[in-house]
Chain A
Amino acid sequence: MTQKILIVGGGLAGTIIANGLARQLYGELKRGEITVQVIGNSDTHLYQPGLLYLPFGRVRERELMRPERAILHRLVDFHLDEATHIDVEAKVVSTRSGHEHSFDYLVLATGSRLDFDAIPGMAAGSQCFYDLDGARAMRDALENFDGGRIVVNVNVPHKCPMAPLEITFMLRDYLAKRGIWERSELLYTFPIGRLHGLEPVANWAAEHFERLGITSETFFNAKTVDAQKRVVHSEEDVDLAYDLLITIPPHRGAEVIESSALGDGGWIPTDRETLLCEGATNVFVCGDTTNLPISKAGSTAHFEADTIIDNLVSLVSGGKMTSRYDGKVFCFLETGFDSGTYIWFNYETPPHPGPPSQMIHWYKLAYNRMYWLSARGLL
């Protein structure tokens, strides 16, 4: 009898898992003993980390996108559709088009979304480079900026936790190269009492902020934005005036996770080592979708995917799960237009950012292009 593996989500996590499974189970798929299906709501796969460069005109837009079907292994079935209900007990996922997909094993990789509605005025009064349209709009806003105060406002929860620091360092270089740094101020706000959630990164960033003349306001959680007066007001009753506001809004998980009562806020309670949905033995959770208190980042999803692929292959082959996720995350960190560093950490080992170098910056640019090999399950 055919065993069905169903993956909900065609982003980085879902795509890597589908391709990894297809490569390891090629014979079984070919013989029809196992099927791997992906439900994804976009026919275009976007390399989201590349959006960081778009506001500065430092990436070709078309390099950030590929057809999802072209990236997926040919033996993976791709359904361009949207999951509307997930019934873990009945082992069925319903979709917008009216289809019902049954499964033996399910992977939930539905990602996160920007929740501008959580902060009144934020959508109208700010720029956000976390999606394609937002990154394009920020590029236009920067072209019209001729000095003044830029506020980079970070809210929680959010994905890609290095990106707010990276955009700040790159803005510093951008303003200097345009010759308007002397009449500008760059002010970075963060929700807790330091510059980053990871204390070693916060301490490292503080040194570089001081060196570069970047100011900060900590314990700042945006509550409202007045787009007319150009003021962002915080839960802590602090008002910050701005000429250009760049925000990372709070995120939520996918609507289908909330409406299917699988997790508050769209984040699914997940075992931190097996990555099984709590209480389930056949439902895995990958990437932003978990409720784990670790970075919601592409590399997190990638390392989690490796664990899930190995365990799924073992399970469908009649074996036991032996692979465990150790919390590994690896992030590059651009420190300007010409330099970068990186961090790695896991559940037991804290990060230690090293001194920025041009070589690591170039390595990050190289990885931006090698990403397509990761998505295909080759790297």
Chain B
Amino acid sequence: MALIAELRLCQIGDSVEVLSSDQGSASDIPAWIAKVRHELVSVEERDEVWHIIVKKLK
């Protein structure tokens, strides 16, 4: 939800990094990105925190 709201404020080509302690984010966000057709740049877990970087394409 916070990612969608943040992307609304971004310009095309901007990237957003999501930090989440919820493992569900690591699967939910890529699923939405595939559907909406933005770019999933990376998904990494570091110290039990998921770092997910998304690039706005449209």
Where the two chains meet, the residues of A that have a C-beta atom closer than 8 Å to any C-beta of B are: 118, 156-157, 191-193, 197, 199, 219, 221, 235-236, 250, 264-265, 293
Asked whether, in the complex, the Cβ of A265 is within 8 Å of the Cβ of B1, the reply is no
Asked whether, in the complex, the Cβ of B2 is within 8 Å of the Cβ of A293, the reply is yes
Q: Pick 17 A–B contacts, CB within 8 A, sort by A.
A: A118-B8, A156-B5, A157-B2, A192-B1, A192-B28, A192-B32, A193-B28, A193-B31, A193-B32, A199-B24, A219-B32, A219-B36, A250-B5, A264-B9, A265-B9, A293-B1, A293-B2
How many residue pairs, one in A and one in B, have C-beta atoms under 8 Å apart?
37
**B24: which A residues are within 8 A, CB to CB?**
199
Q: A178 → chain B, closest Cβ, in Å?
A: 33
> How long is the Cα–Cα vector from A264 to B8 in the complex, in angstroms?
11
**A118: which B residues are within 8 A, CB to CB?**
8
- The DSSP consensus for interface residues of chain B is helix
- Give the one of B1, B4, B58 with max A CB within 10 A: B1
Given contacts A192-B28, A219-B31, 10 further A-B contacts (CB under 8 A): A156-B5, A156-B8, A157-B2, A199-B24, A219-B32, A250-B5, A265-B5, A265-B8, A293-B1, A293-B2
- The DSSP consensus for interface residues of chain A is loop
With an 8 Å Cβ cutoff, the count of chain B residues facing the other chain is 13
**Is B35 an interface position by the 8 A CB rule?**
yes
**B28: which A residues are within 8 A, CB to CB?**
192-193
- Give the one of A157, A192, A197, A264 with max B CB within 10 A: A192
Asked whether, in the complex, the Cβ of B35 is within 8 Å of the Cβ of A219, the reply is yes
- Listed from nearest, the 8 A-B pairs whose CB atoms lie closest are A157-B5, A197-B1, A236-B35, A156-B5, A265-B9, A293-B2, A156-B4, A236-B36
> How long is the Cα–Cα vector from A156 to B4 in the complex, in angstroms?
7
Q: A11 → chain B, closest Cβ, in Å?
A: 21
Contact of B1 among A191, A236, A264 (CB under 8 A): A191
> How long is the Cα–Cα vector from A154 to B37 in the complex, in angstroms?
20
> How long is the Cα–Cα vector from A197 to B20 in the complex, in angstroms?
14
> How long is the Cα–Cα vector from A245 to B39 in the complex, in angstroms?
31
- Chain B 3-48 interface residues, beta-carbon cutoff 8 Å to A: 4-5, 8-9, 24, 28, 31-32, 35-36
